[in-house]
Amino acid sequence: MRIGEVLDALATPGNTVARVAKEQAGIGEKRLRTVLNTAGYEFRNKGQKGWFYIGEGQEPLEKDLSDYITVSNTTAQSTAPINNKRQVIYSRSDLAKNDKGYQVNDTLGQSQFTKEELTTLKEMIQEYIQEKRNQTSRDRLHIRIMKLKKEERTRKTVVMSESVAKKFDDFAEKMKFNKSDILELALMDFISSYDQEE
């Protein structure tokens, strides 16, 4: 995805960095912010809000996000020279038995990675797992609220006990979410759990 496309998506009302990162760019929110900062952009929350180019030269609108993604795991980097020759790594299931022992199947070799590429893939997977592991219940709730369909709204009056109403108010205040969104998610979960019994 190009930087210009990301900025256009972020300029769309209702879009957040988290939503654009996950749904369109396919990376984590923190990584997208880092990429934009590395590309020369900064977010301003005062005055005219949004992402503004502060770098030198021409804006890199046509550059791809991957041009700015760097590997953050320093423990995986080594001082040994990088070997860019492709090395095929086979598992026992990739090999066919013959009378001389094992030999590589002829159908292999379509997707081969260098050691450097494998290391990078492993680091990306570890970062994804770490982001998931560090995700709080508030983060998960935020993601679910962001996925709610934006459709026509209707007003409903709900009567409930004071103790439940107090817990609901306290929860909404603590999480800093709109009560309507929380209630809509709760009702969807409730209906789907009992709707399956029919």
Structure tokens at 42: 């900064």
Q: What is the pLDDT of residue 161?
A: 94
Separation of alpha carbons 75 and 42, rounded Å:
29
Q: What is the pLDDT of residue 74?
A: 40
Query: Does the pTM of the predicted model rise above 0.75?
Result: no
Separation of alpha carbons 79 and 177, rounded Å:
48
Q: What is the pLDDT of residue 10?
A: 85
Ranges of the chain with pLDDT below 50 = 72-87, 94, 102-109
Q: What is the pLDDT of residue 96?
A: 53
